[in-house]
Amino acid sequence: MRNLASRLRAALFGCALAVPFAAAASDEGFRTAVMLDHLHGIDANVTYLKASGQELKLDVFLPDDRSGPPQPVVLRFHGGGWVAGNREGSAMAALPWVQMGFAVVNVSYRLADTAPAPAAVEDTLCALQWVGRNAKKYNFDLAKVVTTGQSAGGHLALTTAMIPSDSSFTNQCAANGVTWAGPYQNPAPKVAAVVNWFGITDVAEMLQGPNVRSYAVAWFGSMQGREQLARALSPLSYVRPGGPPVFTIHGDADPLVPYAHGVRLKTALDKAGVKNVLYTVKGGGHGGFPAEQQVAAYEAAREFLRGLGIAPNSR
């Protein structure tokens, strides 16, 4: 816990001082870094699931003072095409959400070299259940749970929010419950909204044809029935009236996840009457947006969540 917190705070301090000769900007960044350090802590390396011989971990970013009202929470999944990446390497992405007033749960999940599809989806569904079981301990507001992630993490944010609670993909979570020897009760809260950063929405399309991607092929390997499973793991398969609102950020020049995935998701959500926005980053690739475009995307996502009554109005 201390090592992760120290690294993040050192990075924050460095970012705050990275604007030389711009006193006002530097002073504001410095103050923000100090206040985040002063008011917040990290409960790191918490085991939320045991699977494939591994202890799967998450980190919780939250205020030191938990005596106030329950806090909205962001459940975040890293990217990497289901075959690479880790939560530690993208931990700084928690900071904008912390600054907005959210608690953040940053989650690891099994990659393809440990377990192929659907393992990552099963894991993130269990992480959502962990949030439900631990709401009292961490003072989470279960009416204001947001899922988010980039690329494969965006896909997992969508599936975690959209797959029904009685899906067989939740079955491996049963042994984690306090009543594991009795009837299975799914404690997952209903996700209030998704902020999807260029996530895959049609997994089957990535396995063959013009949009085939090697990372998707590797996630399934040589398993039988992979096309059917891929459809069952596609967010587009779960669009329905009453589903969670979705804010999608996607660059229209993305070479790894076609921009059409965001467009098709918006079309389906519109048809189902689900509140959603497709925020297009003009000329944007697969993330790595210029700083001002990145800030603008976060601001737009924050306003979307404020409009839903999820994000605090001031911070």
Mean pLDDT of successive 10-residue segments in the chain (315 residues)?
50 44 61 72 95 96 85 98 96 94 97 98 98 96 98 98 96 75 83 98 96 97 96 98 98 98 98 98 97 97 98 74
Residue with tokens 């079955």: 171
pLDDT at 10: 47
The backbone torsions φ and ψ at residue 289, rounded to the nearest 5 degrees and listed phi first, read: -70, 150
Domain 44-307 matching CATH 3.40.50.1820: the answer reads: yes
How does strand 40-51 pair with strand 276-281?
unpaired
Domains in the chain: boundaries: 44-307
pLDDT for position 15: 46
- Smallest Cα–Cα separation from 212: which of 256, 250, 253, 249? 256
Model confidence, pTM: 0.90
Helices (H), 21-134: 23-39, 95-100, 119-133
How many other C-beta atoms can be found within 10 angstroms of the C-beta atom of residue 205?
A: 22
Q: How many CB atoms lie under 10 A from the CB of residue 178?
A: 9
pLDDT at 213: 97
Closest of 133, 119, 124, 109 to residue 185, by C-alpha: 133
Spatial distance between the Cα atoms of 47 and 55, rounded to a whole number of angstroms:
6
Give the model's pLDDT for residue 17: 39
Q: List Cα–Cα distances, 58 to 20, 86, 104, 118, 193, in angstroms.
A: 35, 11, 10, 19, 20
Cβ burial of 211 (10 Å; 0-12, 13-18, 19+) is: middle
Residue 177's SS3 state is: coil
Q: Identify the pLDDT of residue 14.
A: 45
Residues 132-149: tens digit of each pLDDT? 999 999 999 999 999 999
Distance CA 78, CA 92 (A): 11
The whole-angstrom distance between residue 208's C-alpha and the CA centroid of its chain comes to: 26
Residue-wise pLDDT tens digits, 223-240: 999 999 999 999 999 999
What's the confidence (pLDDT) of residue 145?
98
pLDDT of residue 62: 92
For residue 190 the two structure tokens come to 């209903």
Amino acid at 309: G
Give the per-residue pLDDT at 142: 98
| Rounded to 5°, angle at Cα 253 from 248 and 259 | 40
Secondary structure E strands in 108-173: 140-150
- In which order are the strands placed within the sheet that holds 103-107? 40-51, 54-63, 103-107, 71-77, 140-150, 193-197, 246-251, 276-281
3-state DSSP call for residue 104? strand
In whole angstroms, what is the distance from residue 106 CA to residue 12 CA? 17
